[in-house]
Amino acid sequence: MDYADLGYRRVAVASPVVSIGNPEANTKEIIHQAKLWADDHVTVGLFPELCLSGYSAEDLFFSETLITRAIEGLVDLCANNPLPLLVVGSPWRLADGRLLNCAVAIGAGRVLGMVPKSVLPNYGEFYDLRWFASGADVNQTISHPGLGTFDVRVDQLFDLAGCLVGMEICEDLWAPHAPSTNSALAGAEIILNLSASNELIAKAEYRRNLVSMASAKNICAYAYSSAGATESSKDVVYGGHCFIAENGQLLGETPRFGLAAHSLICDIDSAYLRHDRSQNTTFAKSSRPNPYQRILASNELPPLQALMRQYDAFPFVPEDADELSSRAAEILQIQATGLARRMRAAKIEKLVIGLSGGLDSTLAFLVCLDALELLSLGPEHLVALTMPGPGTSSHTKKNAFGLARAALVQLQEIPINAAVKQHLQDLKHNGEHDVVFENAQARERTQLLFNYANKVNGLVVGTGDLSELALGWCTFNADQMANYNVNASVPKTLIRYLVDWYSRHRASPSMVKILTSVLDTPVSPELIPADADNIGQLTEAIIGPYELHDFFLFHYLRHGASPTKIFHLGRLCFAQYDDATIVHWLHKFFQRFFTQQFKRTTLPPGPKVGSVSLSPRGDWRMPDEASVEPYLKEIEQLL
């Protein structure tokens, strides 16, 4: 598999050892690093600001020797560059005598273009204007026997097999209107920043946040390479801070302050960036600059047989414990606030919930308690109904009673066996445990919930989760329906962590025991009679592992990934499943996702808590009749 075919571009950044005022030595250092990158199939290689001369050369920039040697270094780089696109920092003197601080793009044996620095700092420790002129308005074409013919101008992008690359230099990013914004609006998916940013207390965090936010607001990848500690330390120290961000996410970062060269390689997902740009109408409607010049760097890219990038097997669940704890608290607040606002709008002070003793209804139950607390209402304002039927196990029933007791909530048991039996007799049902048998139970429970809510002037709280909605694993006009569904955008893999977090941080000792039991309960609709006390149905044995389905769902909806791309990413993340198993459940996912859209078209309201949601009023608008055939055909060709 060539991951370049899936939209990945391999980008590398380095902070080399610099010999101040010695372009020849610096050129050798750059070529050595570039050849190492070529062995790793790097497409774009980036070095810091003025790395050819050293950023801290000061008045040596006025030296004819330095300028001449820098040009010779560029000629040497053109002849020995092994990468499709190599970008270095160098001084360049115009015919009129102005000296520019340039990002030099090198490829195909020549200089492809020079992008001059626009914003020159001249405050505090910075004296750029002593040596350099701004290149913001420069537009010149240069012909040089060793470098080729190229332009010196800000408004140019470099094309790597359809992926456009823009450049800016250090202070450009810190300006109120950074050149990178225009580059991104002109089509650049990757922005390169050649920098010489000195180290101060807390500046690294500021710099990191600045780059991450630049990549987020411009929906791009942003590669940043800064000069290292071998620059002059006469008045300041340079740390060699390098990192790469993509659409607000930091993909990789190097340590600072080392005296040796260091580098970083990351794979950028340009297909994901295009998806988000097409989906984001704010980006689409932003005023565009005048058309940028586009220079072809290469249409032939190094093959990427392996991916130098990490993906989470559980994309909805933060890996970091502190982040997970923070998000869990925030998600519960979003859910509870949405429900409380709904109650206030309806002038209702009672909540009615079906409490099965499983994960989903337990989370919804906990959210109800928080919503009541927001409204300064006690637990007596929550009524829980447990409605045992033919498939109910004693284990889940015990969970339901224990949970209500621990929370001081009224629990009413209404068995549905007789009602369902009568209903099936009225239908002249043959007694088989088929879909009619199962759905009759689900609809009987929903009928009871709504009618009971009418009786107490309450609001029916839904419990179905995002994963079930994606797969259509719910009964139309039954558990699919509620007055307000607090779990509508919470996936199954995350619900377990939310309940566990509540157990460890919020629950009373008596509730902890019950929540632990809920967490140990297999996921089941409990619609088929069980043997003794065992659960008769295991959901994941029927529709597949939720860890796979949530992975598929995230990458399809959040990243717009094709089935082929999802399959290959799934192989990287789930070594416990063979290819055939992943393909089988991927086929099942898309088949159910498309055919069950009619259930999502009529979803009740519920709060959005993350970047992925299936609300028909916002995040996912899809015709019920859409064909799944192109997706299934693609999946069938994977093996």
Active site members = 49, 117, 170
CA distance 9 to 44: 8
- Looking at residue 197, the DSSP 8-state letter turns out to be P
**Amino acid in position 70:** A
- Looking at residue 211, the DSSP 8-state letter turns out to be H
Q: Which of 40, 51, 122, 48 is nearest to 82 (CA)?
A: 40
Per-residue tokens: 632: 């299934």
Cβ neighbors of 421 (< 8 A, separation 6 or more) are none
Q: Which of 335, 456, 437 is nearest to 385 (CA)?
A: 456
Q: What does each C-alpha distance from 549 to 224, 431, 566 come to in angstroms?
A: 35, 32, 11
The β-bridge partners of 296 are 159
- Looking at residue 199, the DSSP 8-state letter turns out to be P
Instruction: Render 496-536 in DSSP notation, one character per residue.
Output: HHHHHHHHHHT--HHHHHHHHHHHTSPP----SPPSTTS-S
CB 50 within 8 A of CB 344: no
Cβ neighbors of 181 (< 8 A, separation 6 or more) are 217, 218
CB atoms within 10 A of CB 611: 12
Q: What angle do CA 16, 19, 24 make, to 5 degrees?
A: 95
CB 339 within 8 A of CB 368: yes
CA distance 526 to 538: 8
**What angle, rounded to 10 degrees, do the helices at 509-519 and 394-407 form?**
150
CB 400 within 8 A of CB 428: no
Q: What is the per-residue burial (b if ≥16 Cβ within 10 Å, else e) of 391-407?
A: bbbebbbebbbbbbebb
CB 191 within 8 A of CB 214: yes
Cβ neighbors of 313 (< 8 A, separation 6 or more) are 547, 551, 573, 574
Q: Are strands 350-354 and 382-386 parallel, antiparallel or unpaired?
A: parallel
CB atoms within 10 A of CB 1: 14
